[in-house]
Amino acid sequence: MRHQRRTSERRLPAVVLAVMLAVVGGLVVALPVEPAVAAVGTWSLPAGSVWSAQERSVGQSFERLRADGDRVVGVRAEDAGYAINLSTDGGRTMRAPVHRTGAAWVDLVVAGNRAYVLANPGDSTMELDVWDTATRERVATYPVIGVPGQDGGQLAVDGDTVVVAARSQPQTARNDAIMVSVDGGQDWEVVLPGIDADGVAVAGDDVAVMYEDLGDLRAVVSHDRAVTWPDDLELASGPRDTELMAGPAGFVVAYTGSDGLMTRRSADGTVWSKPTTVSDSRPSELTVSSSGDGYVIGVPRSFTPDTMFLRSVDGRTWKRVDLTPRTGGNYLAFRDRYGQMLTITPTRRGLALVTVEYGRRYLVRSVPARFAPRVRITHAPSRYTDTKLPVIGFEPANPSETWLWECASDLDFFKTCASPYQAEILQYEDDHRVRVRAMAAADPSTYASTRWALDLRPPVGEVRGRVPKVTLKPVARFRWKRPWDASGIAHYDLRVTTTSQRAGRMSQRWRRLKATQKTERRIRIQPGTIVCLQVRPNDRFGRVGRWRWIGCSARMFTDDEVRIRRKARVVRGKRYVDRKAILVESSTGRSVARPSVVLPRIKRGSKVYVLQYVTSTSRGFWVKLAGKKPTHLRPKAKYKARKKHLLAAVGRSEANGAVRLNAAEHRAHLDGLAVRPRWVRGSSASW
């Protein structure tokens, strides 16, 4: 085998060569290829197990979780080194962390009663820390002696066989290599220099190395603890985000292929199964883990922080993990605010994983049901309250049980408490939450929670509206948004005023409408008028805000209010607004001295809107506003093909007077005219 990366020719894999030789010899031999099995069904917790979730601060959370049997180990980085938490009861109780200074963790593996941490002291070398999971003591630290310039890599352990895929800094010369120790990390040997491995795994005497070569995913497996290496095999062409695992059924490769998330399995690395599509999604990143209890893959979904978890015991049949039968909130988010994937590992009873919700991290584990007592909230504040010191009562779901209790208010950590519990709430208006959980043998259960909003002041702030400037229908839809700083609104008072579009000022005769809890209202508008709406929010404690502008909407003038002169007549049809329109014949040139349509008595500063029904022969209108030159309203080609209505704003008149229109060429259909006086400017806020 050539261990250096190839840059030119490719050779046929040994399996393909064997097929060719068999066909040439006149004998077709069926190669031993395992069949592919698609992911089917849903994996649920074993009987007698439940999901348990414990909130942990960033300083108490884990960046990597690994397990082997009942031993679950978590590790996280610290300023001076790293901290490691060890559990010997399947993760039900995570004991106090042990701190290691002087080195940053790189990778973590749990094998038997030992936890192995590949550490980087910071001087371009690496060390192997060996921890006893029972005593929580660091029993040994071995230098990983191989090639210089190492600053990271991957770790694989099985028994006394330890494999490190060393990786050097990109800024320096490449010193990548595969190093193996067969005495638990004391002595090291470089077996594959120059290999930038994408994954390493160990299963008994079999050592597997996976890497990419010219865009292809290849694997080479040694069957004598890295003494000899046969030819490499091609596993996939052009994959993304490749991962390698070793578990109870041998080696499993997961990668993103052309058909989605693909997996391949091999008992010893000699014969690989056909590619199996376990999900039609094409994730750009994966997180995987394996132990003696199986394999697990975390797949982030597109456009959402949620993650799909796939679990397999034999590496062939994959099932989705169902995390829904749990209480205490949504724990499916699997990426932090920087988009980094968190950690997951299979355990004897199911899974252990770290999740995030609203920036808060949780350790979610599958534990026996007796270790997850449920709690019930007996009394709590209403959804909106003005009580600054609310009291919460709670009790166990099973009255015969007795537990110690922990409570947390808002963003605080859990503290010992008892029922009734007085929440520690800061004096500001916002949504608040209290969580209560039981403590059993130092194992926190899933919690019960209650939420409410503290309302101490009347609703203030801008109410932003969205209103059609001109409506073509008899009823206009007025919408608005809830004030951003309003803690609790019970309803909105409404009032409207109706004014002629020819008026010089807005009418001050307000008409009250029925109050509403919604943020919209449909209001009927008479032709030739403009209706303005104001709302006033009221909270649930009788406090009243100020009247806020929503906006004004105008409706088209009727044909009776428009003066029709020469070369114009009224036509009827269902395609027109109000079933009537004015058909204007063409005029000579651009003159509007003798207009066909006139809308009189328009005030200075009014904005004029013209509604055309556009056909293939329409050339638009010449429009003359008082104090301005004629304007040509020419419809675009896309409107001519569709034969639809086109509402266009001509501009603002510069003097009191009439609006005059003539057809530009041929004929044009005038379906309506509307005016928004200058006094409505600035009165409508929009979003």
Bridge partners of 611, per DSSP, are 647, 672
Q: Domain end: 555, 582, 597, which one? A: 555
**Residue 132 DSSP label:** E
d(CA 148, CA 121): 13
Contact status, residue 611 vs residue 671, Cβ threshold 8 Å: yes
pLDDT value for 25:
41
484 shares its domain with 445: no
Burial class (CB in 10 A: 0-12, 13-18, 19+), 362: buried
d(CA 13, CA 18): 9
586 shares its domain with 475: no
Is residue 669 one of the residues assigned to a domain? Answer: yes
d(CA 455, CA 603): 47
d(CA 5, CA 82): 35
Q: HEC states along 273-341?
A: CCCEEEECCCCCCCEEEEECCEEEEEEECCCCCEEEEEEECCCCCCEEECCCCCCCCCCCECECCCCCE
Supply 15's token pair. Answer: 């399996």
Q: How far apart are the first and last CA of the chain?
A: 66
Q: Residue 574 region, left (φ>0) first, then alpha (ψ -120 to 50), else beta? A: alpha
102 shares its domain with 164: yes
pLDDT value for 30:
36
Buried b (16+ CB within 10 A) or exposed e, 308-332: bbbbbbebbbbbbbebeebebbebb
414 shares its domain with 299: no
State how far Cα 44 lies from the chain centre. 25
Look at the alpha carbons of 304, 435, 320, 234 in this order and tell me if their dihedral is positive or negative.
positive
79 shares its domain with 54: yes
209 shares its domain with 124: yes
145 shares its domain with 167: yes
Q: What is the CATH number of the domain that holds 43?
A: 2.130.10.10
Q: What is the CATH number of the domain that holds 523?
A: 2.60.40.10
Is residue 3 one of the residues assigned to a domain? Answer: no
d(CA 678, CA 604): 8
Domain total in the chain: 4
Is residue 1 one of the residues assigned to a domain? Answer: no
169 shares its domain with 299: yes
Q: Residue 156 region, left (φ>0) first, then alpha (ψ -120 to 50), else beta? A: beta
Supply 485's token pair. Answer: 């700083």
pLDDT value for 220:
93
pLDDT value for 642:
63
351 shares its domain with 428: no
Is residue 67 one of the residues assigned to a domain? Answer: yes
Range of the domain at 337: 14-370
135 shares its domain with 252: yes
335 shares its domain with 416: no
Q: Domain end: 431, 454, 477, which one? A: 454
Is residue 2 one of the residues assigned to a domain? Answer: no
Is residue 651 one of the residues assigned to a domain? Answer: yes
pLDDT value for 607:
93
165 shares its domain with 287: yes
d(CA 305, CA 356): 9
d(CA 128, CA 106): 10
Q: Is the pTM for the entire model greater than 0.75?
A: no
Bridge partners of 320, per DSSP, are 42, 310
Is residue 9 one of the residues assigned to a domain? Answer: no
Q: What is the CATH number of the domain that holds 625?
A: 2.60.120.260
Strands 287-291 and 294-300, bridge-based pairing:
antiparallel
Mean pLDDT split into 10-residue runs, the chain, 687 residues: 35 38 37 50 71 64 84 88 85 78 92 92 86 90 78 87 82 72 92 87 92 89 92 87 89 88 90 87 80 82 64 86 52 55 74 68 69 80 81 84 77 82 73 79 64 76 84 92 69 94 93 93 94 89 85 90 84 88 72 77 92 82 89 73 78 91 83 91 46
Contact status, residue 610 vs residue 670, Cβ threshold 8 Å: yes
Cα–Cα distances in Å, from 576 out to 341, 643, 665, 671?
A: 58, 11, 21, 7
d(CA 636, CA 633): 10
pLDDT value for 388:
80
Is residue 687 one of the residues assigned to a domain? Answer: no
Q: Kindly state the helix (H) or strand (E) to which residue 624 belongs, with its residue range.
A: strand 621-624
Q: Domain end: 498, 521, 555, which one? A: 555
